[in-house]
């Protein structure tokens, strides 16, 4: 028989031109269910006006990113057991650093525009992907095979980044990681986008992006690597070896 | 209200200093900001005190006598502690920025903070 927990789901509520507040919903849950299941249950059985984003339910679309007890999580793969305990409260809030559209739904438009500006690739040749245990030598024919990019564009990193909180113009972890993924030598036109005041140098090494990324993109490491790419290109230009 | 962009606010700025629910890098970020603000405040205080030199040796000696006050002495200790915490944390940032220890940034932070605390303890023993 499945284990049952009694929890209080505390949901951030904010409708247009209204003050924000929290609504509490008491519910019985299986602790191995996911946080998104609890939010959907609150919507289905308690309050049909709760607004939230969700789609695939298996960590591919990146739509259901929220703050769960203060930490950015992809709620479709975050089990209730991992973030609370029996009899406790489970608080869900919208992502930070995005305008709230309604309740848990935020406007991701500015983020998507930044991803577009750096030409983020939704799919990439398998030979260019960072994969575990790659073959020592790729067959040239393998470049015809594509794989999904690791980045889900869920925006968790943009929410966790402390710099994003105070500098909206900052490109942000995911777009910088997308630029690194392509490489400045392959895409030299990205240099002017990332080598600027609100680009790669704005990062202050908090590495919160890497900590919350549900897809192991490791934006913090990629931003540092992008810095070395920028320095490499500029040094080559300085010595006429570009 | 412009719904298309993130709006900075005083509350968001204050969130820099409340790293609850964050990991080591977030604490390092907060520590770096707190110590930097403290040291900047000290710089202005230092310049203000140095101006006493222009007023004559008597004024400066009068201030120096104040430094024996336990509160002022604690303030001096806090400045030195902030210098070491900020400086060692800064070395971590420089190393990771050059691609060194990026995947071990948490451990780097712990090692540098232990080193900073050791140096502060040595300084404390010598000061008191």
What pLDDT, in 10s, does the model give residues A35-92? 999 999 999 999 999 999 999 999 999 999 999 999 999 999 999 999 999 999 999 9
d(CA B21, CA B18): 9
Find the mean pLDDT for residues A153-178: 95
Asked if B6 is an interface residue toward chain A (Cβ–Cβ < 8 A), one would say: yes
Asked if B96 is an interface residue toward chain A (Cβ–Cβ < 8 A), one would say: yes
Whether residues B6 and A110 touch (CB distance < 8 A) is answered with: yes
Cα A111 from chain centroid (whole Å): 10
Mutate one of B5, B6, B20 to test the A interface: name it (highest A CB count within 10 A).
B6
Chain B residues within 8 A of A224 when measuring between CB atoms: 96-99, 102
Interface of chain A against chain B, CB under 8 Å?
69-71, 96-99, 101, 107, 109-110, 160, 162, 164-168, 204-208, 210-211, 218, 220-221, 224-225, 227-228
d(CA B36, CA B86): 7
Domains of chain A: 5-106 (3.10.20.30), 109-122+151-238 (1.10.1060.10)
> Tell me, what's the pLDDT at B56?
86
Q: Which mean pLDDT values do the consecutive 10-residue runs of chain B (128 residues) have? A: 62 84 92 96 91 85 85 93 97 92 94 97 91
Asked if B8 is an interface residue toward chain A (Cβ–Cβ < 8 A), one would say: yes
> Tell me, what's the pLDDT at A103?
97
Asked whether B25 and B106 are in contact (CB, 8 A), the reply is: yes
> Tell me, what's the pLDDT at B37?
95
Asked whether B89 and B109 are in contact (CB, 8 A), the reply is: yes
- CB-count exposure of residue A53 (10 Å: 0-12, 13-18, 19+): buried
Neighbours of A88 (CB within 10 A): 14
d(CA A23, CA A91): 10
Cα dihedral A126, A132, A135, A137, rounded to 10, equals 70
Asked if B101 is an interface residue toward chain A (Cβ–Cβ < 8 A), one would say: no
Asked whether A14 and A104 are in contact (CB, 8 A), the reply is: no
Domains of chain B: 23-127 (1.20.1300.10)
Pairing mode, strands A89-93 and A5-13: parallel
Distances (CA, A) of A32 to A5, B33, B112: 10, 39, 39
Mutate one of B2, B25, B90 to test the A interface: name it (highest A CB count within 10 A).
B25
- Lowest average pLDDT, out of A17-21, A23-27, A108-112, B32-36, goes to A17-21
CA distance B26 to chain A (A): 5
Q: Closest residue of A to B89, CA-based?
A: A205
Chain B residues within 8 A of A110 when measuring between CB atoms: 4-6
Whole-prediction pTM value?
0.89
Q: What are phi and psi of A27, to 5 degrees?
A: -155, 155
> Tell me, what's the pLDDT at A233?
94
């Amino acid at each position: 028989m499945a284990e049952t927990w009694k929890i209080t789901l505390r949901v951030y509520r904010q409708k247009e031109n209204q003050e924000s507040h929290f609504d509490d919903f008491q519910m019985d849950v299986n602790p191995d269910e996911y946080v998104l299941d609890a939010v959907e249950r609150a919507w289905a059985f308690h309050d049909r006006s709760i607004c939230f984003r969700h789609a695939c339910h298996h960590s591919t679309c990146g739509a259901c990113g929220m703050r769960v007890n203060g930490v950015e999580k992809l709620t479709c793969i975050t089990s209730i057991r991992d973030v609370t305990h029996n009899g406790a409260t489970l608080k869900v809030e919208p992502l930070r650093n995005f305008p709230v559209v309604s309740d848990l739904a935020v406007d991701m438009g500015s983020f998507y525009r930044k991803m577009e500006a750096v030409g983020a690739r939704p799919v990439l040749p398998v030979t260019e992907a960072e994969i575990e245990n790659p073959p020592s030598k790729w067959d040239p024919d393998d470049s015809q095979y594509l794989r999904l990019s690791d980045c889900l564009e869920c925006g968790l990193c943009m929410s966790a980044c402390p710099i994003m909180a105070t500098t909206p113009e900052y490109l942000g972890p995911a777009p910088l990681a997308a630029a690194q993924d392509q490489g400045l030598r392959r895409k030299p036109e990205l240099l002017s986008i990332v080598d600027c005041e609100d680009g790669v140098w704005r990062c202050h090494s908090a590495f919160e992006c890497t900590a919350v990324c549900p897809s192991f993109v490791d934006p913090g490491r990629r931003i540092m690597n992008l810095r070395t790419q920028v320095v490499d290109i500029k040094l080559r230009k300085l010595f006429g070896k570009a | 209200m412009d719904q298309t962009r993130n709006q900075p606010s005083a509350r968001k700025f204050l969130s820099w200093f409340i790293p609850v629910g964050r990991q080591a890098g977030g604490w390092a970020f907060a520590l770096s900001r707190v110590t930097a603000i403290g040291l900047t405040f000290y710089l202005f205080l230092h310049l203000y005190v140095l101006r006493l030199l222009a007023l004559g040796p008597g004024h400066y000696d009068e201030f120096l006598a104040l430094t024996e006050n336990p509160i002022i002495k604690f303030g001096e200790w806090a400045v030195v502690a902030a210098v070491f915490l900020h400086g060692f944390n800064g070395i971590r940032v420089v190393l990771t920025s050059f691609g060194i220890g990026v995947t071990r940034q948490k451990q780097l932070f712990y090692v540098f903070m232990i080193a900073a605390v050791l140096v502060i303890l040595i300084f404390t023993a010598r000061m008191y």
